[in-house]
């Protein structure tokens, strides 16, 4: 395996609410400093603007929500993220807290594999824009209210969805909210975008997989309803009743520093208990 460049400037992002996170950060910081790595840390969510400037990598200690809080800054500065799981499922934080201490010196020396993940770009009526690693969700601003949404793909009318909302997901996000809504599992290396309605009022409404070149437009077909755009479940964009929302795959990508032997299917089998009736783990 060709190693990446050694990490000399390392930022830590820690979720103080996760059990054992502080102890783990202290341990990894000591290892980094012993290896001659300059470190800094933050407990703030989202990660402060400019915090990752000049860093070689960012080590996130927490769950996937903590990871997502660093995704925007990581993308902007093109700093790879080392995700260490102190949460529950941890699809993004792929290093376990049990293994990280023993292999951290190797990671700092370049013993990791960089994998790029696609992002969704969305824009609202006032020019406000954001990118999502997992998903963009469009719902009514009023709790438990059905929305009527017209969807266009490259200006071609798709359909009018009558539902609780729409989830636009990257392949990375296919194991998140969209999976719970009945969406498909998509390999993270795929360059596609999925659209999944939430509780649609038509049995024929199912997920749609769209190519990376498509630009989607969503219009509010309910004149009396205000919409909200949730980006990765962490940030909201403002909307207008009479202006469309545009969604497409971003030209940017986020870089993950993962184990050289990382296997997406192994993670799915282990964390989702995903198997056939007689399947066994062949790893």
> CA-CA distance, 46 to 282, in Å (whole number)?
39
User: How far is the CA of 6 from the CAs of 194, 213, 251, in angstroms?
Assistant: 36, 35, 27
Active site residue 64: yes
| Angle of helix 21-34 versus helix 97-108 axis, rounded to 10 | 20
**Residue of 64, 130, 135, 232 marked active site:** 64
Handedness of CA 134, 263, 97, 29 (dihedral sign): negative
Q: Kindly give the pairing relationship between strand 235-237 and strand 227-231.
A: antiparallel
Who contacts 59 (Cβ-Cβ below 8 Å, separation ≥6)? Answer: 10, 11, 12, 13, 28, 81, 82, 84
* Catalytic positions: 64
């Amino acid at each position: 395996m060709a190693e990446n460049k050694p990490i000399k400037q390392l930022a830590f992002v820690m979720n103080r609410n996760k059990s054992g996170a502080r102890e783990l950060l202290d341990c990894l910081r000591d290892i980094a400093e012993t290896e001659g790595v300059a470190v800094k840390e933050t407990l703030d969510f989202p990660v402060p603007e400019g915090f990752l400037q000049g860093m070689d990598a960012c080590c996130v200690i927490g769950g996937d929500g903590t990871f997502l809080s660093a995704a925007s800054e990581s993308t902007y500065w093109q700093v790879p993220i080392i995700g260490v799981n102190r949460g529950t499922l941890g699809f993004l934080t792929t290093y376990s807290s049990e293994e990280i201490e023993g292999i951290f010196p190797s990671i700092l020396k370049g013993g990791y594999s960089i994998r790029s993940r696609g992002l969704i770009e969305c824009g609202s009526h006032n020019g406000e824009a954001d990118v999502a690693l997992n998903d963009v969700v469009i719902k009514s601003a009023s709790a438990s209210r059905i929305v009527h949404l017209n969807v266009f793909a490259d200006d071609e009318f798709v359909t009018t969805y009558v539902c609780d909302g729409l989830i636009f997901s990257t392949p990375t996000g296919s194991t998140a909210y969209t999976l719970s809504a009945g969406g498909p599992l998509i390999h993270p290396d795929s360059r596609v975008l999925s659209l999944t309605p939430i509780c649609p009022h038509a049995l024929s409404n199912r997920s749609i997989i769209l190519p990376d070149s498509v630009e989607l437009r969503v219009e509010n077909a309910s004149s009396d309803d205000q919409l909200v755009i949730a980006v990765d479940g962490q940030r909201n964009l403002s909307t207008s009743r009479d202006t469309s929302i545009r969604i497409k795959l971003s030209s940017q990508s986020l870089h993950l520093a993962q184990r050289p032997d990382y296997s997406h299917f192994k993670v799915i089998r282990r964390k989702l208990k995903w198997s056939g009736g007689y399947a066994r783990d062949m790893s």
